[in-house]
Structure 1
Amino acid sequence: MEGIEMEGIKTPVALLLAHPDDESFLAAALCRRLAELGEPAVLLTATRGDAGGRGSELAASLGRRLGEIREQELEDAAAILGIREVGHLGYPDGKLGEADEEEAVERAALWLAMRRPATLVTFPPDGGNGHPDHRAISRIGTRLVQERRVAGLERLVYIGSETLAREGRKEALALDTAAVWPAKAAALAAHRSQIDTIATYFGDLSEAPEAWRFERFYLAWEDGKAWPGAEEPGSVSDTEEG
């Protein structure tokens, strides 16, 4: 399959994220667009979100059942967004940085190799908000692509962050979530156990908040080259913070 080019993103696309709900927060419009193009994404999460009890009183009350419930919430959100398949590595939530990184790279590579993506979308090196799980999955995803762990996986795309913008990195794609807001809102609402946290960022989900209106993506690696298209390309690792 030749795949479809979409401003720095070539299909098929895999998302490698830390927790259930990351996809709805940060890549819902992208997933919907890919589904509309007939090239639905696949999603691999590092954890089951089982430490997300601060998301609501409901989440806190679920105890050991939270991971199982969040897996189902993710399945519901994925169906809304048109994600073709969801997988889980099952690492403890909040402790991904303590896991054996080489093992995590190998396990992710095995899962991805069976889905044959051309582009991997993950967090930027700073994790976007500094979350240790986000930073850890960024390292894992970056290694997967740079070290050519998956045949045919040649493009690395980072989810936008203030750090990337400050560094002057060239944005490859910006998607207006207002155009798909009903789907994004429904996907966010599907993460019922996290509704208090979601409300903190997105309000009552009646409309796209201006601060979160655009989903932004940066092409960090392509065919062995870091920051392709940049006037002064540097190493992806230049932006890593530990």
Structure 2
Amino acid sequence: MSLALPGTGPVLGIWAHPDDEVYLSGGLMAAARAAGRRVVCVTATRGEHGTGDPERWPPERLAATRDAELTASLAALGVTEHHQLGLPDGGCAAQPFDTVVARLAAIVAEVRPGVVVTFGPDGFTGHPDHRMVSAWAEAARSRAAPAARLLYPRLTAEFADTWRDLYDRLALFPTADLPWRAAPDRIAVRLRLDDASADRKLVALRAQASQTAELVALLGVETMRAWACTEETFVDALPARALDFARGC
């Protein structure tokens, strides 16, 4: 595995729902921990509405299950520090912006990260909670650790094209302009996970079985591993005025 993060500071991930962190940065977190770096994960919601079967999974039951699943998933990656904000799943945009940013900024100030990882302004999938978390994270980082490097997960054109049929099949992206794809010269961090690292990330994903078991059954273990566990790529955050350019990459 190659990991090209500068410095030796802590890595702080800020995400919306349980499983966002492992899909988008599980390899990065594991590699950072293996290198002896502190890794802290923040999750905005408990994901209590993340089901198509609310009769089987009423919100409180699903929230408790996802809490336990996330703890096990992070442990598989070597991560033991986690903050749960407990905000309503699907309701992030309705929360008072300054209040949430203040909570996050307090965590950022304590962790003193060298790197912050979160969604880009597009939310990666366009989910409103993802977009809101991106805005909160950027504001908290600017307030409490402006020198920290801010990274967004992005797909390369090569990766997106390789898995185009799967993305279409799963309807993961609601509009034609998602996901934003990074031009090769914009990739700041590219992790190619070796076999052991890919297996570890797969274990972490499968630990969140309420969200991943049906997908693994649908795709098969080998396809799930090849798609979700072999590569992670990130770009450095851009100033707001540059985002229109990035959309066209």
Q: CA 1:14/1:187 → structure 2, altered by over 3 Å: closer, same or farther?
A: same
Residue 62 (structure 1) aligned to one of 57, 60, 71: 57
CA shift for structure 1 position 70? 0.6
CA shift for structure 1 position 157? 0.6
Q: CA 1:182/1:8 → structure 2, altered by over 3 Å: closer, same or farther?
A: closer
CA shift for structure 1 position 235? 3.8
Letter in 1 for 2:45: T
Q: CA 1:37/1:212 → structure 2, altered by over 3 Å: closer, same or farther?
A: closer
Residue 231 (structure 2) pairs with residue 214 (structure 1): yes
Matched with 1:176 is: 192
Matched with 1:95 is: 91
SS at 2:12's partner residue? strand
Contact kept in structure 2, 1:220 and 1:236, CA below 8 Å? no
Matched with 1:150 is: 144
Mapping 1:1-242, distance limit 5 Å: 7-10=4-7, 11-54=9-52, 61-63=56-58, 64-145=60-141, 148-151=142-145, 153-161=147-155, 162-165=179-182, 170-179=186-195, 180-196=197-213, 198-199=215-216, 203-204=220-221, 208-210=225-227, 213-220=230-237, 226=239, 235=241, 238=244
* Residues 158-190 of structure 1, C-alpha deviations (whole Å, 9 max, x = no match): 111441426x76111111234311111110111
More helix by share: 2
Contact kept in structure 2, 1:8 and 1:219, CA below 8 Å? no
* Residues 17-53 of structure 1, C-alpha deviations (whole Å, 9 max, x = no match): 0110111211111011001101131100110111112
Q: CA 1:32/1:144 → structure 2, altered by over 3 Å: closer, same or farther?
A: same
SS at 2:22's partner residue? helix
Superposition TM-score, scaled by structure 1 size: 0.79
Contact kept in structure 2, 1:74 and 1:191, CA below 8 Å? yes
* Residues 199-226 of structure 1, C-alpha deviations (whole Å, 9 max, x = no match): 27863257622476311111116xxxx4
Task: Flag structure 2 segments of 5+ consecutive residues without an equivalent.
Answer: 156-178
Matched with 1:229 is: none
Q: CA 1:163/1:37 → structure 2, altered by over 3 Å: closer, same or farther?
A: same
Q: Within 2, Cα distance between the matches of 1:173 and 1:16? A: 17
Letter in 1 for 2:20: D
Letter in 2 for 1:170: R
RMSD: 2.7
Q: How many residues align?
A: 219
Letter in 2 for 1:12: P
* Residues 120-162 of structure 1, C-alpha deviations (whole Å, 9 max, x = no match): 10001111111111111111112223xx321465211111144
SS at 1:114's partner residue? helix
Q: Within 2, Cα distance between the matches of 1:135 and 1:200? A: 29
Q: Within 2, Cα distance between the matches of 1:239 and 1:92? A: 33
Q: Within 2, Cα distance between the matches of 1:220 and 1:44? A: 19
Q: CA 1:239/1:14 → structure 2, altered by over 3 Å: closer, same or farther?
A: farther
CA shift for structure 1 position 118? 1.8
Q: Within 1, Cα distance between the matches of 2:228 and 2:18? A: 22
